[in-house]
Amino acid sequence: GIGKTTLAREVFNATAVRDFNPRAWVCISDDFDVMRISMAILESINGCGSDLRNLNEVQNQLREKVAGKKFLLVLDDVWSEDYSKWELLRSPFMVGDPRSKIIVTTRHERVALRMGCSTGCTHKLKLLSDDECWSLFEKHAFGNGVVGADASESIREKVIGKCKGLPLAL
């Protein structure tokens, strides 16, 4: 609820990354199955399904799709800290252009560190301050208008109390 996926989606859809080709987005969650994820990445790149059933075949296809190319891959909502699975998953992408990027969203900094990201390459999102919460709420609830002073204090306290700094709760 803090906006990791939303931020990654903004980056993925930004004009500045249009020169990354291919681009793929895969939601991982708690099931870090290398075959399933590899298939999902291949299908995202191809824009259609595949009937491949062997991990080696899927990864060979991925290797061919990214070889020498500047690609962008988003792995959304990763939970697994299993380094051996990560090594297996990323192996086809080692032949891509060195400017390629893999963005990982996770709730756990340990996951990012296990994936080989140094502390400097992580971006830890923070909760919104009370003023930021209210400003965002006003913008979406009232457009450019501002709620009246009498009603605003009562509403403000309730909104800030319920959202607890989470932008998506607003």
Task: Evaluate whether 76 touches 105 at the Cβ level (below 8 Å).
Answer: yes
Condensed to tens digits (0 to 9), the pLDDT of residues 25-81 reads 999 988 899 999 999 999 999 988 888 889 999 999 999 999 999 999 999 988 888
CA distance 136 to 143: 10
Vertex 54: Cα angle to 49 and 55 (nearest 5): 90
Amino acid 131: pLDDT: 85
pLDDT at position 25: 95
Average pLDDT over residues 100-120: 77
Amino acid at residue number 49? G
* pLDDT at residue 150 greater than cutoff 60: no
Q: Say what percent of the chain tops pLDDT 90.
A: 41
pLDDT at 57: 95
> Mind giving me the DSSP string for 37-67?
HHHHHHHHHHTS------HHHHHHHHHHHHT
Q: Kindly state the average pLDDT of the residues 108-130.
A: 73
Tell me: pLDDT of 9 over 80: yes
The strand pairing partners of 25, in sequence order, are 74
Mean pLDDT for all residues in the chain: 85
User: Confidence class of residue 112 from pLDDT cuts 50, 70 and 90?
Assistant: confident
pLDDT at res. 151? 59
pLDDT value, residue 93: 96
For the entire predicted model, the pTM comes to: 0.76
Q: Is the pLDDT of residue 144 over 90?
A: no
